[in-house]
Each structure stands twice: as structure tokens, then as C-alpha cells.
Amino acid sequence: MTALVERHGLTPPAARAARFTAMVVVANPFARETIARSLRALGAREVVEAGSLAEARVRARTDVPRDLCVVDGCLPDGSGIALVTELRALGWPRGMVLSSAEDPYTVRAALASGVRAFLVSPSAAPSGSGRPVAPGMVPTQNRPRAGRATGAEGLSAREIEVLQLVGDGRSNKEIGESLGLSALTVKSHLARIARKLGTGDRAEMVVVAMRAGVVA
């Protein structure tokens, strides 16, 4: 597994002796256990494991100190990138996303969501190939087809401006201040954008718009 993008640096070797608590949210049980075992070897005093968004939301509310979450970018019931933002709000300050593709749009969306590191496993195999699916792998049959309409061409100039600022990691209030709008108006724009793009997840909206070429 190779590091593609990293923010704020890694923990220095001298600090590895400090005990920490980690959460691993990966659908593949073999991959999840492998990551959990590696974290314990690095000094994790406790590793909380989950295989889906729903399970992670429940297990994240642990009474132990919360330090690091390692999340599969593509979970069975939603976006792992969006989950990192939720976990940070629940007290997990450091987030790491795993993926099988070096997709610059997904990387940018992840960083905008506050992800500290984005790791890529280039040897991941699609589901149904007879080999295990690596963290973040999207089965071939579930991937969007090339050329399929996304609805991005129907975005207005104002909606594109809003999406551009969402991609920069701005909150609704900050977007409103930049464009001279109220936070409620920004929320309304985002609702319309979600209907056009077919997703209400902020990170996914930016990825779809970037792939369509309407957001730089």
C-alpha cells in the first residue's frame, strides 16, 4: 500500500510508543482485521472495528479516548469520505481514507473533508474476480458507465460557484459570506445541486462536478 497524499506529516518514530485508540471501518473482514492487527502492532491500545456506515456511527460513540479512524472510501451503504467528517464531529480528530484508485477528484474531495491521509492499494481486484476486494474498491458492475449523463450540465452559474467553494472545504456560512448569500440560500442551492447530480453528499457532488468539467 502506497501513500498518495498526506497532510500534516506522520507521527514521528519517537512518539509511536504512546498508546492510542483507533477505529477501522472497512467492509472486507480480512482487510479490516489485517489493518487492525497492524495498528495494534504500532501501539494501539484499542481498535474499534466496523464494516459499514451504520455500524460505524454506533461504535464511534465509545467511552475510550478517540484518536485515529481508518475508513474505506467506498462502503456498502455510502461514502467513507463523508463518514470521516461525521467521525471528526464525534471526537475522532484524525482521519485516513483507503482507496483502490488514484483518482485526483476523489483525493481533492477527501482533503476538503479534512482527511489527513489518502492511501492507495494499486493491486486491488474487482468483486467477482475470485480475489478479495481491497479497501475502497468499487466493483466493476457498480461503477458509473462512461458517458452517462450526470446532470452536471444543468447546473447554473451560481450553483457552480457554490460547488467550487464546497470543494475548497467551506461551510455553508463561509460560502454565503463569500457570495453575499445567507446560509439558508446556500442550503437551497445545495439541495437543487443534489437533485441534479443524484447525490446529497458534499464530497461526491464535488467529484461528479469535477469529472464533468464544470468545477476546476
Cell of 96: 485516513
Same domain, 91 and 175: no
In a domain, 145, yes or no: no
What Rg, from alpha-carbon coordinates, does the chain have? 18
| pLDDT higher than threshold 80 for residue 33 | yes
In a domain, 115, yes or no: yes
Give the whole-angstrom CA distance, residue 106 versus residue 81: 9
Residues 91-134: pLDDT tens digits?
A: 888 888 887 766 666 777 777 666 767 776 554 333 343 444 44
Same domain, 94 and 52: yes
Collapsed DSSP state (helix, strand, coil) of residue 66 = coil
- Residue 10: HSE in the Cβ half-sphere, 13 Å Cα cutoff: 10
Q: What is the CATH classification number for the domain harbouring 21?
A: 3.40.50.2300
Among 143, 119, 122, which Cα is nearest to 71's? 119
Same domain, 33 and 86: yes
Same domain, 59 and 96: yes
Supply the range of the domain harboring residue 174.
Answer: 152-211
Give me the pLDDT at residue 182, please: 92
